[in-house]
Chain A
Amino acid sequence: MIFVIELLVSFFLVVGAFFALAGSIGSFRLPDFFSRLHGPTKSTTLGVGGMAIASAIYFSFHGEGISFHEVLITLFLFITAPVSAHFLAKAALHQRLHENKAALPPACEKETGPHE
C-alpha cells in the first residue's frame, strides 16, 4: 500500500481513538448524570466518525472498488445516537436525578410534575 494512504489511515484511526478515549474519560470524571450524557454523544460523532473514515480509505485502496459501508454506519449512528441520548435524559428527568444539582427551568418543572 502507498505510504501516503497508510499515513492517512493511521491519522484518522488515531484521531478517532483519541476522541473515543476522551469521551470515556469525560464520562468518568464528570460529576452528575446529565453531564455524563455528553460523553457518549461525543465518541459517536468524531470518535466513530474518524475510525469510519480510516476504514473507508483502507478498504477503498485494499479491496475491490470504493467502500460505502462506512457511510451507512456513520449515517445510522448519527440517526440513533441522539435518540438514545434523548431517552436517557428524559428518563433521568422523570426520575428526578437532577435534584440538588442544576436548577431546572420552569417549563421542565411543569413537565415532570410536582415533587412528591
Chain B
Amino acid sequence: MQAFTVHRGIAAPLDRANVDTDAIIPKQYLKSIKRTGFGPNAFDDWRYLDPGEPDADNSGRRPNPDFVLNQPPFDRATILLARKNFGCGSSREHAVWALDDFGFRAVIAPSFADIFFNNSFKNGLLPVVLKENEVDELFRRVRAEPGLEIEVDLQSQQVRVPGGPVFRFEVDSDRRRRLLEGLDDIALTLQHADKIRAYEALRQQEAPWLMSG
C-alpha cells in the first residue's frame, strides 16, 4: 500500500453534504475488473454534460463548466474539501480508487461514512476529520485564494494553511502507523495465523454448526 506522511497540494472546495459513492463513481464504471483507470470518470454525472460509458474515451465529452473540478486551478487539486457524511452509500472501493486515480491524496470533511473511511486507509487516501467551523474556515480560505496549497501532515496530525491557521486532527493510532509505513494488512494479519487456528479449533468444539458450512 501507498504510504502517507506529509502532503502539500491545492484543495478543491466541493460544497455539498452527503456526497455519496454513487456520485463519486456511477455504477456503470463498476463493471471494470481492474483497480485503476477510474479517474476520468470520478464524479462523472456532475463533471460532464453528456452521458458516459465504461471503457469509452472521455476526451471528446462536454465538461460541465459549473463543476468545481473542471475549473482551474481545481482541476489539479490533490486535496478535496467537502461537507458532512462524505462517501455515504455503497461499499464500492471504486470510489476511493477513482479519487486516487484523479490525483487526490486526502479528503477533508466534518464526517465520513464508515465504509468509505475504512476503504480510504486501505488505499493510502487519507480521510481527515475536522470540526465543522474549521472546515468552514478552509472553505473560506480556499475560495478567497484559489490555488492555495494546504499541507496535510499525518506524522504530526495537522492540517496547515500557509500563514495559519493550523488544525489538529485525530486518527486511530493503529491506522496511522499502517499508513505512515504503508504496511500490507494481510501480511500483518497472517503473523497471527496460529491464533486464528486456535480460535477455529475452539469454535469447532463450542459451535460446531458454524464450522461445517
A, B assembled together: no
**A residues apposed to B, CB below 8 Å:** none
**B residues apposed to A, CB below 8 Å:** none
